[in-house]
Structures are given as structure tokens and as C-alpha cells.
């Protein structure tokens, strides 16, 4: 499966005032339309966007993230496989990163390309390993500054709790010593405790980023943003992680790689991921059988380079056994925009970039959730009052062209003497997937509009049709493909049809 970005190229407006760097150098005002050139950029090019050396004017430093947000919207609009985008989004949320930190933000296009989109249909151990060595993750969970002597525990803790074994395998409340954890004495502890976190943190000391930091003896790391293992910062002495003894001086990166491997293959990891996946893609309160069977598929294909594709196929098969109404999930704002624009025949123009702000008010922004557990996914939380307000604003704004995204013809297919009732009847099926008895007349009554009056004002017509997209049924869907659709997409991608 191929989830790389595939959409027609655009130029996105970049605009800021002239200003000065802290050292007094001036940079000029900019107002131009630039291609999305950072999506394919390598780390050294993106490194400049951290602000290092003041090569990029400060107002331009969020460009990597803005390009990424726009690219995701365009991809969602143009892809024939929106369910692939939701799969990418799951992994984005699972390994959640916060783009409010400039060091994390600069490398995000590279993260999305080489970690998420590259590995999300592949093997879990590989996506985990790629995430652990990526500068965005190394900065976000502070491993880049972790040093032997008093290691920084942030990454190690979230690795166990959020990326792999999960919080139900965190047994610190029950056991204070590693040997007390059931299974520990035969090398298979059922869960982890703080001692494992401490030892894993030691294992990752020295996993850092080439960011110019001094490494002693008057030497410094290069400034490339690339991963580097700094032997002098690593704690080389013996360790014990998940009841496995690590010999001292195991060799470059061996300790950390071994921790990742132990975590990736732990049964609790299969269970934790299965539980998250089923809740996200099938239903909020799944049966234990759904979770167990998914965990089993995850474990069985542990060594497969297509492990996650197999897991996905299993999820589809599970979902197909349920009635549609029992597997509804909230549509992401990008998906909602894609469905609306397709329904009304609007070729969305995002080159002004003004739609990004409203998109980010309709849900937690892409890479906008501060803490590493990722944004909430339940229906109540995704339709919280503030996000619902943002959602209504987004859908109405797109329908009514508030952000220069383009206009569409609401009278398409209607005669010259069309009435308000005919207008709404015309657009119900494309937008809502079917006719709702009494909807047009009730909606028009709420707007003090006579259904039998002839409608001629296009703006008013667009506004009324846009209101249809605020219906509850427009906010949800079951996005999983059928098994047949899925297999067809797999075949096409293996034939290179997508590339």
C-alpha cells in the first residue's frame, strides 16, 4: 500500500512583514505564492527552520507545519482512498508530536514522510524504531538531551506507556521490585514498573540529534538535524529491562535497540494496540473478542514486513459483521470538507491558506496536541462545544466562500423557477446520502423562509445548502473500506497504479 502524498501541485501564499533578527540583521517583507517545497525536504534543509543560525526569518519558521497541514487537506480531497488517510492519522496520533515546539516542528514533513507514511502499512517494530531515531521525537520527548549519570526519563516512560505496552501494563502500584512482577523470574514479566523506565532511560542515553552541541575536547556535532549516537553520553553499564539482563558495553545503540525490540514484541503491546485500533476504527465499546482477535493477528504477523496491513484487513473483516450504525465514527474536519466539496462540485482553492486557521478550530490541529497521549477520539470529545462550533464555522465557511476557497453553483440541475424547497431537496442526497422526510420544510421554517418562494440569490442559496452539512449524520461515517475495495487498492498499489 502506498500512502505517500499524491495531489496536484499548488502554490501556497506566504506573507509576512519585514523585521530584524536578534543580531540586528534585517529580513525583507515577503508576499508570494510558493510551492510546497518542504514536504520532500531532507533533514539538513529542515534544520534551518529550527531557527539555528537565524537563516530563516522567524515568521517563516512554521512553514514546514503549514505545508503539512495544507498537504493533508489536499490529499484528503484528491485521494480515492480516504480510509488510508485515517490510517495515517491513527499513527500520527499514536506517536503524537507537538508542533508548538520549534525544534519538533521543523522536521515534521520528514517525520510524516519517512516514519508515518513510509511505515504505516509495514511492520510495527520498524515504525517504532524509525520513530525513536527521528529528531522530532528525540526533541519532543527530550531524549536528545539525555545523558549518562542522570538520564532523562521522558522518552522511556512514554515509550512503555503510550507507544507500546500501554498503561494497563504499568504495574507500579502493585510491585516495587522487578522480580515481583508475575513472569519476571522466567524472563516474561506481564507488565512494567518504574525500575524498567529508569533502566530503559539509561539504555537510550546518547541517542541524540546532530544539532551543533559540544561533545567535549573542543569538538561539536555537525548541524544537520540527523540522528546520532554519541558514545560519550551513553551509560554503558549493565541494565535490566523487562527482566532481561543487558551486559555492560553491549556496543553502539545495542541497549536502546534491544529495549525497542522487547517492547515491540511484548504481548501487552499487541493487546494495547489492538484495543486502540478497534476503538478508533470500529466502535468505542468493543467486545473483548474483537480486541483479542486483533491482538492475535498483530502477534502472529510480528515478523512480517506487512504486519500492519494484515491487522488492517482483520479490522475490516470485523467491521463488516456489524450494522453500519454501530460503527460510526466522527469525521475529521478535513474529511468533512472533502465530502462537502465533492458533493457540491467545488474545486477547493487553498492557495490563500486562510482555511488553515478554521480547520484547526474544528478539532485539535494536526500536530497541535501538547501532551504525548494524543488528541481524544470519543464522539463526545470530538464534538465538544468548541469543536462543534468550529466545525459549523468550517462547513458554512467553505459553502459560502469565507476564505477565498472558491464558489460553486447551487442552482446546478435546477430550472429557472426553482423554489427554496426544491433547492434543498436537490442537495440533500449528495450531501446527506439520502432524503430526510420533512427536512427541507423544517429547515426553511427555522430560517423564516417560505419554501414555495422562488430562490434567485446565489449567496443565500449556498448558505442554506451549507446548513445541510451541519446535520448530525454529516458529522459521522464508517470510513473502513469493504474487503473487496481494500484488496483492489492493494493490487493497484503493487502494480504501481498509485505512483
Residues that bind another protein (CB under 8 A): 141-142, 145-154, 157, 161-162, 167, 170, 172-173, 176, 194, 197, 325, 328, 330, 361, 364, 370-371, 373, 376, 379-381, 383-389, 392-393, 396-397, 436, 438-439, 442-443, 445-448, 463, 467-468, 470-473, 475-476
Least distance from another protein to the Cβ atom of residue 32, Å: 31
First and final CA of the chain: distance in angstroms?
A: 11
Which one, 310 or 383, has the nearer CB to another protein? 383
Give the C-alpha separation, 452 to 462, whole Å. Answer: 17
DSSP state of 481: P
SS3 for 7-42, per residue?
CCCCEEEEEECCEECCCCCEECCEEEEEECCCCCCC
Least distance from another protein to the Cβ atom of residue 377, Å: 12
Element (H, E) at 246: strand 244-246
Least distance from another protein to the Cβ atom of residue 437, Å: 8
Least distance from another protein to the Cβ atom of residue 148, Å: 8
* Residue 39 exposed, middle or buried by CB count within 10 Å (0-12, 13-18, 19+): middle
Alpha helices in 350-447 (DSSP H): 356-359, 379-382, 385-400, 420-432, 439-446
Least Cα distance to 276 among 142, 202, 383, 376 occurs for 376
Least distance from another protein to the Cβ atom of residue 55, Å: 23
Which one, 219 or 448, has the nearer CB to another protein? 448
Q: Strand, coil or helix: what is 493?
A: helix
Give the C-alpha separation, 348 to 473, whole Å. Answer: 23
Please compute, for residue 318, the number of CA atoms within 13 A of its CA located in the half-sphere on the CB side: 26
Least Cα distance to 35 among 51, 5, 12, 52 occurs for 12
Which one, 420 or 486, has the nearer CB to another protein? 420
Least distance from another protein to the Cβ atom of residue 151, Å: 7
Least distance from another protein to the Cβ atom of residue 461, Å: 14
Which one, 244 or 476, has the nearer CB to another protein? 476
Beta bridge partner(s), residue 223: 211
Which one, 471 or 488, has the nearer CB to another protein? 471
Which one, 24 or 214, has the nearer CB to another protein? 214
Give the C-alpha separation, 180 to 175, whole Å. Answer: 6
Which one, 30 or 148, has the nearer CB to another protein? 148
Amino acid at each position: 500500500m502506498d500512502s505517500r502524498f499524491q495531489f496536484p501541485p499548488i502554490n501556497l501564499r506566504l506573507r509576512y512583514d519585514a523585521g530584524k533578527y536578534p543580531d540586528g540583521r534585517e529580513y525583507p517583507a515577503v508576499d508570494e505564492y510558493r510551492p510546497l517545497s518542504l514536504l520532500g525536504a531532507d533533514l539538513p534543509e529542515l534544520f534551518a527552520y529550527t531557527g539555528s543560525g537565524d537563516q530563516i526569518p522567524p515568521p517563516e519558521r512554521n512553514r514546514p507545519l503549514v505545508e503539512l497541514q495544507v498537504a493533508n487537506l489536499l490529499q484528503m480531497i484528491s485521494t480515492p482512498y480516504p480510509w488510508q488517510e485515517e490510517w495515517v492519522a491513527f499513527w500520527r496520533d499514536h506517536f503524537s508530536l507537538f508542533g508548538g515546539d520549534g525544534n519538533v516542528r521543523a522536521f515534521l514533513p520528514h517525520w510524516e514522510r519517512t516514519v508515518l507514511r513510509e511505515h504505516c502499512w509495514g511492520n510495527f517494530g520498524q515504525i517504532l524504531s524509525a520513530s525513536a531515531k527521528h529528531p522530532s521525537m528525540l526533541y519532543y520527548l527530550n531524549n536528545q538531551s539525555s545523558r549518562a549519570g542522570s538520564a532523562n526519563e521522558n522518552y522511556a516512560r512514554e515509550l512503555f506507556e503510550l507507544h507500546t505496552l500501554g498503561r494497563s501494563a504499568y504495574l507500579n502500584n502493585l510491585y516495587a521490585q522487578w522480580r515481583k512482577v508475575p513472569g519476571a523470574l522466567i524472563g516474561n514479566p506481564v507488565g512494567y514498573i518504574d525500575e524498567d523506565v529508569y533502566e530503559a532511560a539509561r539504555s537510550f542515553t546518547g541517542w541524540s540529534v546532530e544539532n551543533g552541541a559540544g561533545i567535549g575536547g573542543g569538538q561539536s556535532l555537525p548541524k544537520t538535524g540527523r540522528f546520532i549516537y554519541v558514545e560519550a553520553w551513553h551509560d554503558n553499564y549493565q541494565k535490566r529491562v523487562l527482566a532481561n539482563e543487558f551486559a555492560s558495553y553491549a556496543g553502539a545503540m545495542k541497549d536502546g535497540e534491544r529495549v525497542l525490540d522487547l517492547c515491540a514484541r511484548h504481548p501487552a503491546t499487541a493487546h494495547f494496540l489492538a484495543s486502540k485500533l478497534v476503538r478508533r476504527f470500529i466502535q468505542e465499546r468493543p467486545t473483548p473478542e474483537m480486541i483479542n482477535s486483533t491482538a492475535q493477528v498483530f502477534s502472529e504477523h510480528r515478523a512480517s514486513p506487512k504486519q500492519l496491513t494484515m491487522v488492517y484487513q482483520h479490522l475490516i473483516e470485523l467491521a463488516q459483521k456489524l450494522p453500519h450504525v454501530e460503527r460510526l465514527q466522527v469525521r475529521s474536519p478535513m474529511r468533512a470538507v472533502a465530502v462537502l466539496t465533492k458533493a457540491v462540485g467545488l474545486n477547493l482553492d487553498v492557495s490563500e491558506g486562510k482555511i488553515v486557521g478554521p480547520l484547526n478550530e474544528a478539532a485539535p490541529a494536526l500536530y497541535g496536541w501538547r501532551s504525548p497521549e494524543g488528541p481524544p477520539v470519543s464522539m463526545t470529545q470530538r464534538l465538544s462545544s468548541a469543536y462543534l462550533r468550529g466545525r459549523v464555522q468550517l462547513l458554512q465557511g467553505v459553502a459560502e466562500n469565507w476564505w477565498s476557497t472558491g464558489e460553486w453553483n447551487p442552482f446546478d440541475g435546477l430550472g429557472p423557477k426553482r423554489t427554496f424547497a426544491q433547492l434543498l431537496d436537490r442537495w440533500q442526497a449528495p450531501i446527506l446520502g439520502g432524503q430526510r422526510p420533512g427536512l427541507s420544510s423544517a429547515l426553511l421554517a427555522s430560517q423564516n423562509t417560505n419554501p414555495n418562494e422562488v430562490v434567485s440569490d446565489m449567496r443565500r442559496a449556498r448558505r442554506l445548502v451549507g446548513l445541510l452539512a451541519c446535520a448530525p449524520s454529516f458529522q459521522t461515517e464508517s470510513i473502513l473500506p469493504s474487503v473487496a475495495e481494500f484488496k483492489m487498492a492493494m493490487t493497484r498499489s503493487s502494480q504501481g497504479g498509485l505512483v
